[in-house]
Chains A and B, each alone.
Chain A
Amino acid sequence: ARLNRIHSIFGTVDGLSGRFVSVFNYFKSLFYSKFMKPLRNGNVIHDEPPRKRFQEDFESTPLYIAVVTYINYGIMIVFGFLRDFLRRHGFEKTHASTEANDMKDFVPLYASFESFYTRNIYNRIQDVFNRPICSVPGPVIDIVERQFSKSGWMFKYTGKVLKNVVNLGSYNYLGFAENDGPCAEASIESIEKYGVGVCSSRKEMGNLDIHVKLEQKMAEYLDVEACLTFGMGFATNSMNIPCLVSKGCLIISDGLNHASLVLGCRLSGAQIRVFKHNDMKDLESKLRDAVVYGQPRTHRPWKKILIIVEGVYSMEGSIVNLPGILELKKKYKAYVFLDEAHSIGALGSRGRGVTEYFGIHPREVDIMMGTFTKSFGAAGGYIAGSRALVEHLRYHSHSACYATSMSPPVCEQIITSLHIISSTDEGKRRIKQLADNCRMFRQGLKKLGNIVYGNDDSPVVPAMIYAPTKLGAFSREMLKRGFGVVVVGFPATPIAESRVRFCISAALTEQQLQDALDAISDISDLLQMKYSKKK
């Protein structure tokens, strides 16, 4: 799983020390997952009564595609070694920057094998990442054109701008990335009133009235007792989890959790166990073992057990099986931390996230976390829940004590977009439009015969590409036809599961999506990407 991979890159978390063990485990798990028992096969439908049934779809990789993909990597690795050899002996010019002259006798800053992947694989498709844009990240964007050298190592700006590229990559779910209209106007007003900077933390002189207002509105919106906001979503996770659990506690974390959650877990000092993505059986067996056998070696009971999951998984497009999780939570008396980064605003009939989607009251979840970066078109994160939780964090959270508070115009953007979502017809229209767009696009892609992962209602739509070389080709061809897409490969996905990820927005029109589907169909034929056997 991805967490396992992150762990094997950054070291292990579960007490097994040494890189070798984790690398070995990684290969072992790869082996098992690929050849022994396919983790995901076909449609899994659980029997969950309320509003929405839990549904997800992970069509397994066709065997011959897996083989081709590994051969694809094999060839690139062989050439990588060859070119490394040529570079080392001066036959090929190295374009990489080098160590300062007066520091040549220091211990090298990077181990050569660590950057092998960057040098020999990533560099070849560098041009499809980090594309600079020079417009509002709305439904269409302007991309600054770059021209790459043949080797892929260097680029120059051509001075041209690719205008009106349809944006299928930004997290602009409800279309609040706008440079005019009520949100932008309100933000501009708040710049006049407050300025841009705050220069102090919430605990000192940085607790502005506007922050207090935002927290009240957000708590009302989520229908919980209280809410606390932070300036960055990533830090909301990584700096607050350590305030909730510590040594002697157990974290049970979904295998595909975001890096910020993984970091938070690691900083907390608690034991970490990972369960297979969205697999309730595996979670239950981990919970059961944990409660029955207690802490390893000492066999003392755990102080508390925290289950950490996300609402919508940003690389798989799946939605958490929340009813299943809550049932286990009750049975085993664990606590639940739910990261709604991609689901708040984007799911549920009134945009209140996965809890609403499943018809569950948010109060049943202990810790509701989310970010403002996505649906709200702003920046920052929040944690909501009981008053005791929020007050505890308010006084102990590292982020609230040491980090500068949110900039007023950003705060105002959230307040305004929140108002539009929660109490206007425009908000309702956007939420409905998003749901319609998702359905249309996802079903369209499936009809084309591409393998699409995840839940039918999720606004994140990953379509599988598999081979890393096709990754670059797909993105370039799409850009040629006027569509900006996000392609992701290792290490953000399993090594043989490179994919393209579309993020659907309410601001996109049906026509734009239809055109996109046509272009995708065209390119999928070209790259032979219509892998699905279901069609």
Chain B
Amino acid sequence: FQAPLYHYIVEGLLVVWIIRLLFFKSYKIHDKVPLTTKEKDELIEDWEPEPLVPPLEETRAVSKPYRVVSGQPGKEIVVDGYKCKNFASLNFLGFVENERISKAATECVSKYGVGSCGPRGFYGSFDVHLELEKRIAKFTGTECAIIYSYGFATIASAIPSYSKRGDILYVDEACCFAIQKGVQASRSNVVYFKHNDMEDLESKLRHQEMLDKKDVKKSSVTRKFMVVEGIYMNTGEICDLPRLVDLKYKYKVRLFVEESLSFGVLGQHGRGVTEHYNIPVEKVDMMCGSMEYSLASTGGFCCGREYVIDHQRLTGLGYVFSASLPPLLACAAIEAIDIMEEE
């Protein structure tokens, strides 16, 4: 343990230097050549910001006004005064005009009123929310489900609650906008693969596997996820779930499936793309869906194993920091699931 004296001195100086670095403000150029107050005021006077938004005429020139729908947007629809057959809404099961659902919602208003007036944590959890979560879990055959008050916020909140900075997301390049926002909010590394191209995905996974072997320490804490859609909102194609499940176990990458469009549509009972391919739903780590299309209500849900899903109750931004789903919409969704099962 004999070290020369200069060694101690150098190390001592280094320690002092580090402490100095930690506690002193960072070096700024403008500290060196201070501007006078007058110069600053002139700069402030000179600065002209861009307008907040483009002028009204410019916006008007590139856009059309919304069409106005009068009355119920069911299979018959009145658009801008024209009576039409409706080929545009995502009312797959025709639940918009369903009497039973309207009746359930009406009863719910007479019991709970309209708004929930609070987030789930603070007296915004209604018994009907808990029931709806149970019903969704039972219907999809998963352990548990969590509901959000807005379909769009569901996957966009779910992705960042698992995938953080440094993790890797494999995302289909044709994925819908909500997924893109979730991916962006997570700040993870994103790898886009060609639309529905399993070869391309596999080659990217293989490439990563090679990198992982080189840096075992890093790869042992890097979570990896694949995010796909059951039916792609942008192209209408169905994902190749059997191949994805193979890849999941082969490369140890978790699999999230966004089923907004496929829930209630694919499979014998409408359980979505897993039922369509006859794949046990446990093979998918998380299945997200929307209650805004087939179920003709509002909001979204995620379901899967309790180990995975429960985490969102403390970290899903759109779940924690927003008021819960109005109870009447939860009742409507419960009734819609009942009808799906019965009819």
- Chain A residues engaging chain B, CB cutoff 8 angstroms: 10-11, 19, 24, 96-100, 102, 105-111, 118, 122, 129-138, 141, 144, 167, 169-172, 176-180, 183-184, 187-188, 191-200, 202-209, 212, 231-235, 239, 244, 258-260, 263, 266-267, 288, 291-293, 301-306, 331-335, 366-367, 371-374, 376-379, 387-389, 391-395, 398-399, 401-404, 406-407, 409-410, 413, 484, 486
Q: Is the CB of B149 within 8 A of A379?
A: yes
A196-B329, A288-B40, A407-B298 as given contacts; A187 in contact with B114, CB under 8 Å: yes
- Name which of B12-20, B84-92, B194-202, B235-243 contacts chain A: B84-92
Question: Which B residues touch A144, using CB under 8 A?
Answer: 127
- Name which of B1-9, B271-279, B305-313 contacts chain A: B305-313
Per-residue 0/1 for B78-111: is the Cβ within 8 Å of any A Cβ (1 yes, 0 no)? Answer: 0100000010111100011110011001100111
Q: Is the CB of B323 within 8 A of A379?
A: yes
Q: Is the CB of A197 within 8 A of B332?
A: yes
Minimal beta-carbon separation of B61 from chain A (angstroms): 11
Minimal beta-carbon separation of B284 from chain A (angstroms): 11
Q: Does B220 contact A (CB under 8 A)?
A: yes
Minimal beta-carbon separation of A398 from chain B (angstroms): 6
Q: Which of B130, B219, B305, B323 has the most CB of A within 10 A?
A: B323
A171-B323, A177-B113, A407-B298 as given contacts; A203 in contact with B66, CB under 8 Å: yes
A141-B123, A199-B296 as given contacts; A409 in contact with B109, CB under 8 Å: yes
Question: Which A residues touch B112, using CB under 8 A?
Answer: 135-137, 179
Q: Which residue of B lies closest to A204 (CB)?
A: B88
Q: How far is the CA of A206 from the CA of B90 in the complex (A)?
A: 10
Q: Is the CB of B295 within 8 A of A136?
A: no
Q: Is the CB of A199 within 8 A of B96?
A: yes
In chain B between 121 and 151, which residues have their CB closer than 8 angstroms to a CB of chain A?
Answer: 121-127, 129-130, 149-151
A195-B296, A206-B73 as given contacts; A188 in contact with B181, CB under 8 Å: no
A137-B113, A303-B49 as given contacts; A195 in contact with B98, CB under 8 Å: yes
Q: How far is the CA of A170 from the CA of B327 in the complex (A)?
A: 15
Q: Is the CB of A232 within 8 A of B114?
A: no
Question: Which B residues touch A302, using CB under 8 A?
Answer: 49
Question: Which B residues touch A293, using CB under 8 A?
Answer: 30
Minimal beta-carbon separation of B311 from chain A (angstroms): 7
A180-B110, A195-B98 as given contacts; A205 in contact with B88, CB under 8 Å: yes
Q: Is the CB of A244 within 8 A of B53?
A: yes
Question: Which B residues touch A406, using CB under 8 A?
Answer: 298
Question: Which B residues touch A401, using CB under 8 A?
Answer: 177
Question: Which B residues touch A212, using CB under 8 A?
Answer: 68
Q: Is the CB of B293 within 8 A of A391?
A: no
A110-B311, A195-B102 as given contacts; A205 in contact with B79, CB under 8 Å: yes
Q: Does B178 contact A (CB under 8 A)?
A: yes
Question: Which B residues touch A138, using CB under 8 A?
Answer: 113
Q: Does B52 contact A (CB under 8 A)?
A: yes
Q: Is the CB of B152 within 8 A of A191?
A: no
Q: Which residue of B lies closest to A96 (CB)?
A: B307
Q: How far is the CA of A403 from the CA of B233 in the complex (A)?
A: 12
Question: Which A residues touch B325, using CB under 8 A?
Answer: 379
Minimal beta-carbon separation of B148 from chain A (angstroms): 9
Q: How far is the CA of A258 from the CA of B323 in the complex (A)?
A: 13
Q: Is the CB of B53 within 8 A of A263?
A: no
Minimal beta-carbon separation of A179 from chain B (angstroms): 4
Q: Is the CB of A106 within 8 A of B254?
A: yes
A199-B296, A403-B151 as given contacts; A179 in contact with B318, CB under 8 Å: no
Question: Which B residues touch A288, using CB under 8 A?
Answer: 40, 44
Q: Is the CB of A403 within 8 A of B322?
A: no
Q: Is the CB of A391 within 8 A of B308?
A: no
Q: Is the CB of B52 within 8 A of A109?
A: no
Q: Is the CB of A267 within 8 A of B43?
A: no
Minimal beta-carbon separation of B22 from chain A (angstroms): 8
A194-B72, A403-B150 as given contacts; A207 in contact with B66, CB under 8 Å: yes
